[in-house]
Amino acid sequence: MATPRTPHTRKPDAQMNGAAIILKALQDQGVEVVFGYPGGAVLPIYDEIFKSNRIRHILVRHEQAAVHAAEGYARSTGKVGCVLVTSGPGATNAVTGLTDALMDSIPIVCLTGQVPTHLIGNDAFQEADTTGITRPCTKHNYLVKDVTRLADTIHEAVYVATTGRPGPVVVDLPKDILFAEGPYYAPNGNAHPSYKPQVKGDESAIERAVDLLAKAKRPIFYGGGGLINAGPKASKLYAELVRLTQAPTTLTLMGLGAYPSQDRQFLGMLGMHGTYEANLAMYNCDVMINIGARFDDRVTGRIADFSPNSTKVHVDIDPSSINKNVVVDLPIIGDAANVLEQMIKVWKAKGYKANAKPLEKWWAQIEKWRERKCLAFTEDTSIIKPQHAIKRLYELTRDRDTYITTEVGQHQMWAAQYFGFEEPNRWMTSGGLGTMGYGLPAAMGVQIAHPDSTVIDIAGEASYLMNIQELSTLAQYRLPVKSFIVNNQWMGMVRQWQELNHGGRYSESYSESLPDFIKVAEAFGGVGLRAETVDQLDDVIMEMLETDRFVLADIMVKKDENCFPMIPSGAAHYEMLLGPDDKAELETSENGMVLV
Amino acid sequence: MNATTEIAEATHTLAVLVDDEPGVLARVIGLFSGRGYNIESLTVSSVDTAAHLSRITIVTTGTPLIIAQIKAQLGRLVPVHSVHDLTLEGPHLERELALIKIRNVGEHRIEALRIADMFRARAIDSTLESFVFELTGSPSKITAFVELMSALGAIEVSRTGVVAIARGSNLDMPVFSTLEVNRKKAKQPAGKKAQKKV
Ligand SMILES: Cc1ncc(C[n+]2csc(CCOP(=O)(O)OP(=O)(O)O)c2C)c(N)n1
Ligand SMILES: [Mg+2]
């Protein structure tokens, strides 16, 4: 922002150059780690990093990876993730990461270098219109043209990124501003004059919601990523309310971990590759309580047939999520933790009890759906089934302190289905944007935040190649990230769609000319392992877990396995394909074909 | 029920108070184009120089759900202070200013003047073969005038788009800091103010 919003009445704490102001502001905001990559426009900041030692800088190998690493860091800690990149190509390389963070509501502050103010607009060397390019893929962005506004802009950026519905914020920094002497103002708690998201839910709406819940005969809770963003307290309260009401709960891909996966009341993930019981319970429920989910098209299937007979309550901190895809009966704007706390209070105050009789019937119905065992798969005695690989990985890491990231594709869905999460912040995946290449850098960020934990990227071989350069970062910082490559030698998810929707014409979806991942690991200074048969799998997993360096475990799995259950694009929840034999029954409709 | 159910579209006039900062208009316009909403008219101007606030008036059409989405999406932009749906909130006034140049001679010239008089349009420029008329009024009045003029000669039209405000004594989107600062300024010796600027 060029012009000061209000004239400064505060006294500056000190005078220093712009680069030092930035570091001081980040430090005062509690930022400990910055993921970045240097270049001409940000050299003054790197000079300060060199001199000050106040902030730990992690040198990535590609700016996209810097943002994903910051996302992994943020999602696994609940703190803001911080990124520093240079002007021009540095900024444009960060765009995919920023879009990813926007779609999944991850708090990121990304500092981008810019050419000096007097050259802006001149097509100067490494100039890009960064605020223009990033406007639609950030929650907000700034161009700082006045060093007196610099400190407050950084404070404001952190505030905007972390409050309300979190998201990425870009601060574009012309080089002359980094050199200019200016005042440093400490954070004063008055972060933004007008941006003040509503966090407490409307009391009367909450009473009505609890009332609905108490009277429901077939209730269901549908929790999303908002539960994770609202902090671990929100997940605790969510579990408390779910247990009080004895209702079943499902979670979205982004919400996994918000409710313990092993609990009887958990029906598994819902949506395109969700469980039979979760999707049918959503279809048949009479009261739906959505907390922090956004009725994404991957979840709803065909909108016209989405849970047609239910009264829907939608709790969200972002008013624009309300009635965007699905019209709800009772919207509640607020932070998930606050609203859940309010709901529990009302439930207790009114002396409500779980509605035993109808619930018993509802659960009996759900158990019938459960008996279909939609996640069962036929084991093979020699070839490793991908589902089996993930199941074993889960079972062999259960007593460990484990964090999981994924790439994008079938392996991601299998990970969501077969890996259980008992608490929030343990599961990092690119849900909204579906960014191949997310998992390895995200795992890097998680490992930086949790140096002693087991951090595993469940990867597909094609996705893995998209940010494989980050192995060099793992080597430099001795980050013992484990890459569990579910290697089917196909862009499996693409192949599956081509099989189901395009007559088995496998156009360009074979993972051609794959590298030898063992040699790749060794070339970068890590350890490479391979499992080719079922009996090798456990040994490889154990060896991977016990190695204190980074490991690439190349798990050669059945090549043409498909991911089920599946609701074809444009179909409804009751039109699930449960396995390969269902395929013939339901062709994807013409309307569905055009959907992504 | 779902968001795509067909319900009649209606035109709404929105008043949006925003921080007057670079990029804010691009943000608003980008929101409309990025999400496929209509803009029939958009006007913007600073209304409070001391507090750096601008007011944007947007005329848009959509189903009630789309209009609600537009308002929520606008409200979510960080520099947006408030969004008012003047169409929903009660009676309001809409005005537009237009400059219409007409080139013609003879009888048509006289007829143009006569009609301009009826519409209370003022001629603010004239040559022997042209007039420029200034006209304020509701958008439909201006459209009617433009249509009549086009029958009387070759025309060129520049319109501001709609500005709007609610009727009655309520100040829903008040502007005060201009006044406050002016008052403060008045009390301050001139020299001090100049110093502060440096
Ligand atoms: C950056 C990017 N490009 C393209 C896609 C489209 N896409 C989705 S899944 C997929 C294949 C992924 O293959 P792999 O990583 O081997 O995972 P698999 O499905 O085989 O488990 C592709 C190309 C994407 N999601 N992201
Ligand atoms: Mg693959």
Ligand nearest to the CA of A406: 1
> Could you confirm whether A1 is annotated as catalytic?
no
Which of A572, A509, A517 lies closest to A544 in space, CA to CA?
A: A517
| Average pLDDT of every residue of chain B | 89
Half-sphere exposure of A345 (CA within 13 A, CB side): 11
What separation in Å is there between the alpha carbon of A367 and the centre of ligand 1?
A: 34
The span from the CA of A174 to the CA of A129, in Å, is 12
Report whether residue A460 contacts ligand 1, using a CB cutoff of 6 Å.
Answer: yes
Residues of B in contact with A143 (CB under 8 A): 22-23
Q: Are A330 and A313 spatial neighbours (Cβ–Cβ below 8 Å)?
A: yes
* Model confidence pLDDT, tens digit, residues A269-315: 999 999 999 999 999 999 999 999 999 999 999 999 999 999 999 99
Neighbours of ion ligand 2 (CB under 5 A): A 460-462, 488, 492
CA angle A239, A240, A244 (to 5 degrees): 115
Residue B51 to residue A327, Cβ atoms within 8 A: no
Cα A560 to ligand 1 centroid, rounded to whole Å: 15
Q: Say whether A320 and B22 touch across the interface (CB within 8 A).
A: no
Q: What is the pLDDT of residue A592?
A: 74
Interior/surface letters A34-46, b for 16+ CB within 10 angstroms, e for the rest:
bbbbbbebbbbbb
**Any idea what the CATH number is for the domain that residue B36 is in?**
3.30.70.260
Helices (H), B58-106: 64-76, 86-89
A121 contacts chain B (CB < 8 A): no
The chain-wide mean pLDDT, for chain A, equals: 95
Task: Provide the residue ranges of all domains of chain A, joining segments of one domain with +.
Answer: 14-184, 203-370, 386-556
Per-residue pLDDT at B2 exceeds 70: no
Q: Binning pLDDT at 50, 70 and 90, where does residue A581 land? A: confident
Angle formed by the axes of helices A336-349 and A203-215, to 10°? 60
> Could you tell me how many CB contacts below 8 A there are between chain A and chain B?
69
- pLDDT, residue B182, reads 52
pLDDT tens digits, residue range A153-162?
Answer: 999 999 999 9
Residues B84, B173, B55, A202: is their CA dihedral positive or negative? Answer: negative
Domain boundary pick from B89, B110, B129? B89
Per-residue pLDDT, averaged over A5-11, amounts to 65
Query: Within a domain: residue B183?
Result: no
| Higher local confidence (pLDDT), A104 or B191 | A104
Residue A125 has pLDDT above 80, yes or no: yes
Distance A487 CA to ligand 2 centre (A): 5
User: Does a cis peptide bond (omega within 30 degrees of 0) precede residue A565?
Assistant: yes
Class of CATH domain A386-556? alpha beta
Does residue A41 register a pLDDT over 70? yes
Average the pLDDT over A305-334 and give the result. 97
Q: What is the mean predicted confidence (pLDDT) over A522-533?
A: 98
pLDDT at residue A552 greater than cutoff 70: yes
Going by C-alpha positions, the residue among A22, A44, A2, A5 that lies closest to residue A182 is: A22
Task: Decide: B109 and B66 in contact? Cβ < 8 Å.
Answer: no
CATH numeric code, A203-370: 3.40.50.1220
Is the minimum distance from the CB of A458 to ligand 1 under 6 angstroms?
A: no
B74 and B141 housed in the same domain: no
> Is B113 contained in some domain?
yes
Cβ <8 Å between A143 and B80: no
Q: Find the domain containing B139 and state its range.
A: 93-163
pLDDT of residue A86: 98
Beta-sheet strand order (sheet of A249-251): A266-269, A249-251, A219-223, A287-291, A311-316, A330-333
User: Residue A460 CA: which ligand 1 atom is closest?
Assistant: 15
Q: In the predicted model, what is the mean pLDDT of residues B41-63?
A: 95
Predicted confidence at residue B3, as pLDDT, reads: 46
Annotation marks residue A126 as catalytic: yes
DSSP 8-state symbol, A157: H
- Which of A333-337, B51-55, B171-175 has the least mean pLDDT? B171-175
**Looking at this protein, which amino acid is placed at residue B53?**
L
Q: In the predicted model, what is the mean pLDDT of residues A521-549?
A: 98
Is residue A462 lining ligand 1, measured as CB closer than 6 Å? yes
**pLDDT digit string, tens, across residues A246-259:** 999 999 999 999 99
Q: Are A285 and A307 in contact (CB under 8 A)?
A: yes
For testing contact with chain B, the best of A320, A321, A326 (most B CBs within 10 A): A320
CA-closest candidate to residue A340, choices A445, A430, A259, A447: A259
Q: What is the pLDDT of residue A558?
A: 98
List strands edge to edge, sheet with A140-143: A56-59, A33-36, A81-85, A108-114, A168-174, A140-143
Residues B136 and B81 in one domain: no
Across A426-443, average pLDDT? 98
Taking a C-beta distance cutoff of 8 angstroms, is the pair A364, A284 a contact?
A: no
Is residue B85 less than 8 Å (CB to CB) from chain A? no
Nearest one of B45, B57, B51, B55 to B93, comparing CA atoms: B57
Q: Judge whether residue B184 has pLDDT over 60.
A: no
Quick one: B80 and B104 in the same domain?
no
Final residue in a domain of this structure, among B29, B60, B89? B89
Residue B53 lies in a domain: yes
Query: How confident is residue A585, by pLDDT bands cut at 50, 70 and 90?
Result: low
Residue A170: what pLDDT?
A: 98
Shortest CB distance from A3 goes to which of B5, B21, B75?
Answer: B21
d(CA A282, CA A308) in angstroms, rounded, equals: 9
Residue B196 has pLDDT above 80, yes or no: no
